[in-house]
Structure 1
Amino acid sequence: MGSRHHLGLTRLGLMKTLPLCAAALALPLAAGCSAKSDAAGGGKAAKPASLAELAQQTDCSLTGKRKVKDLEQGNCKNATGRYVLLSFTTDSGMNAWLEEAKPWGGTYLVGARWVVVSQEQTLETLRKDLGGKIVQGDNHGPDHGSGHG
């Protein structure tokens, strides 16, 4: 009823970011039974990076680049696969985006103020270059709802 979203985002701000979220989640994504993360990276520490830096580190040319106040988004394709890169200006902005995105399902490589959205196999490969951890969104597969009281 109020004008503020439970995450502190205005409805107008949320409406501006919804198309970005929808584009990021449009890729066919595998998801686990519940939200979980894989912190066993054994390697590179994820550092904050701009959208251009993420694209350079993963050797892709950005297409469909979009920028709003708190985040940048772009689509990538390389020998590893297709993926969406998101770079955030703040940790709280990234955490709010993830909280809104995870119920939609999907698989995310999460770093320091950046997220990559793709299939898990692609993210595992990108993780070698970027660091970060793999996070699963909610499951929406054929068994969704079974066993959930």
Structure 2
Amino acid sequence: MPRRGRNHRITVLRLGTLVGSLALVSACGGGEDGGARAPRPSESSAPPAAGIVAPARIEVIAGLAGCTAEIRIEADELREGVCRSRQADYRITTFPAEKYKEAWLDAASVYGGEYLVGPRWVVSAEARHLERVRNKLGGTIRRLQGTS
């Protein structure tokens, strides 16, 4: 087994911190009943007819969503910003490679919820606002099934 160094530990710690922030976002977004559920596979919605896909830059994605991002996290594995439009609050996360996005989504699946997912980016918001922003950004709405 290859030896893992300091960078691997930092990556794992950062992903753990992000998972904790996802818990807060998911808690604010509401949910179904409070009963325990077994994990279920994720579901995806079809892409928009226009097929537009926004670039993987927080500032551009925020502008298309109608707000200005405040950057919260700058790391090698991801950038994360938050912004508020007249309609919704958004958490926008971008990644330098798809593997980091997939690891982030895998960690987020514990909490469940719906996310707008594009190439190297994820947008979190209340589920009812994702379709509207999807029409501007493109991407796919992915429903992650939680374990609680």
What's the TM-score, normalizing by structure 2? Answer: 0.78
Shift in CA distance, 60/3, structure 1 to aligned 2, threshold 3 Å: farther
Q: Residue 30 of structure 1: CA displacement?
A: 5.4
Question: Counting helix residues as a fraction of each chain, which structure ranks higher?
Answer: 2
> For the structure 1 residues 70 and 110, does the alpha-carbon distance in structure 2 shift closer, same or farther, using more than 3 Å as the test?
same
* Whole-Å separation in 1 of the counterparts to 2:91 and 2:20: 11
Cα gap change, 1:62/1:73 in structure 2, threshold over 3 Å: closer, same or farther?
same
Q: 1:30 to 1:37 in 2, by over 3 A?
A: farther
Larger deviation: 52-61 or 37-46?
Answer: 37-46
Consecutive unaligned residues of structure 1, counting only runs of 5 or more, are: 145-149
What's the counterpart of residue 44 of structure 1? 51
Percent of aligned positions that are identical = 26
CA distance in 1, matches of 2:101, 2:122: 8
52, 57, 60: which one aligns with 1:53:
60
1:65 corresponds in structure 2 to 72
Question: CA offsets per residue over residues 28-80 of structure 1, 9 Å max, x none?
Answer: 23568832110242223324321111112212122352111021001111122
Q: How many residues align?
A: 136
What amino acid is aligned across from residue 23 of structure 1 in structure 2? S
- TM-score (structure 1 length as normaliser): 0.78
